[in-house]
Structure 1
Amino acid sequence: MSDQPRFRKIFGNVATREQMFALFNRDQKAPPEDRISGRAYVSEWFEIEASEYHFMLDILPPLFLRTGMFGMSECKAGYITSVFFEITIRGQRRWFTGFCDLSTPQSPDAMREAIIAYESQLSDSMTREEKLEAIWAGTHPDFRGIAGSADPSAWPAEHRGKRTILVNVGSHGTILKLLEDLTDEEIEEKLRTGKPSTGA
């Protein structure tokens, strides 16, 4: 499809099984039409453990199976399904999954190439904005929100409508903070650990 979104990594760490399934369902708050059409998911990808790759391969007979790649026979929406990859990058074997639009036959190969290109770059090549987007995408909906959506008076007018995220500040507990106000240290910690914003 000519308007297919660019491939994008949505989680900064290697996902556990629990995190993998949470990421599969992370867009429950997306508009219904985007969930039904699959636009809420298509082209998103993240890294998983080898055990999760083989676990998913054993759940159902794959829709297709090629060397280092298979597609789930159960679609997420329309022609959108999860595709799993085993890829060797810089001599290290790694595993990934992402949502591909199979109405575009070359979509799985294009995603594989995008993953290789992205992961072959230096980790510090991401811009601050790209890091914030990855953190937002990988954070459970319970730990993120929109400033002023519940209580407009709790936020200054200039911040209402901005994205917020729960942040663990150590001995001071957990606070709600604007996503755009995360410090460089908070950003790197979230990308490194891949844990929910509560620090749990």
Structure 2
Amino acid sequence: MTLQSSIRKVYFGVADRRQMFRLFDRHAERPNRWEGDDSALYAGEWFELGKAEHDYMLDLLPPLWMRGEMFALGEFLIGSVTSVFYTLRIDGGTRCFHAYCDLAVTGSPRAARDAIVERESRPAKAMTHEERLEHIWSATHDQYRGYAGDSFLARHRGKRTIQVFRAGRPELKLLDELTDAEIAAKLPVHLRHLPLPTAA
């Protein structure tokens, strides 16, 4: 299993309630679930959601804590990782977000908030290569994604896979090895032609 640790956007668009619950556990089908500490797999993942979904989660369970524009759920996903919900003013509008934060890491909710604001305040719409792959993973149904097993080389086992079509036949391919054409085919039309961000 490849673990991640950076703060990263995992879905483009505003998640409705059904999408929100799917995004809460994008890694539900991972092999050996619960056998190790998979905190790094979740910590740092974030996405935008609607105000109704934000308020629904606020009313669902008593928050662990509330601080200004954010609140944390008292029910932890794994280890010290829990959901933190934000209501943020960005470019004159109010938007809501969810992030998984590792509360054992001092300042992780603030770091996630700052990363969200920085990412969403960029003047031009663009998607990094990694964001394209994360969106594809998030938007693909479990039936068409998975994890590399025995048919892959040992060094690739446990890495994420996605179903592609070659010569009209379905085939599992490592998510990280999708070509630009395969990425474009998997993205919704409105995201296919977004430019890569320019270097600062």
If the length of structure 1 is used for normalisation, what is the TM-score?
0.73
| Residues 36, 177 of structure 1: alpha-carbon distance in 2 compared, 3 angstrom cutoff | closer
Match in the other structure for 2:22? 22
SS in 1 for 2:42: coil
| Residues 16, 166 of structure 1: alpha-carbon distance in 2 compared, 3 angstrom cutoff | farther
Cα deviation 1:117-142 (Å, max 9, x = unaligned)? 11112454323343123322442322
| Residues 104, 61 of structure 1: alpha-carbon distance in 2 compared, 3 angstrom cutoff | same
SS in 2 for 1:40: helix
Aligned length: 176
* Cα shift at 1:6: 1.2
Alignment of 1:46-85 (within 5 A): 46-85=47-86
Gaps of 5+ in 1: 153-159, 193-200
| Separation in 1, partners of 2:160, 2:59 | 42
| Separation in 1, partners of 2:183, 2:33 | 34
* Cα shift at 1:175: 6.1
* Cα shift at 1:68: 1.3
| Separation in 2, partners of 1:45, 1:8 | 6
If the length of structure 2 is used for normalisation, what is the TM-score?
0.73
> Between Structure 1 and Structure 2, which shows a larger proportion of helix residues?
1
Alignment of 1:1-200 (within 5 A): 5-30=5-30, 31-32=32-33, 36-122=37-123, 124-145=125-146, 163-165=161-163, 178=173, 180-181=178-179, 182=182, 184=184, 186-189=186-189, 191=191
| Separation in 2, partners of 1:144, 1:37 | 19
Cα deviation 1:5-58 (Å, max 9, x = unaligned)? 110011111111111111112212334357644222111010100001100000
| Residues 163, 55 of structure 1: alpha-carbon distance in 2 compared, 3 angstrom cutoff | same
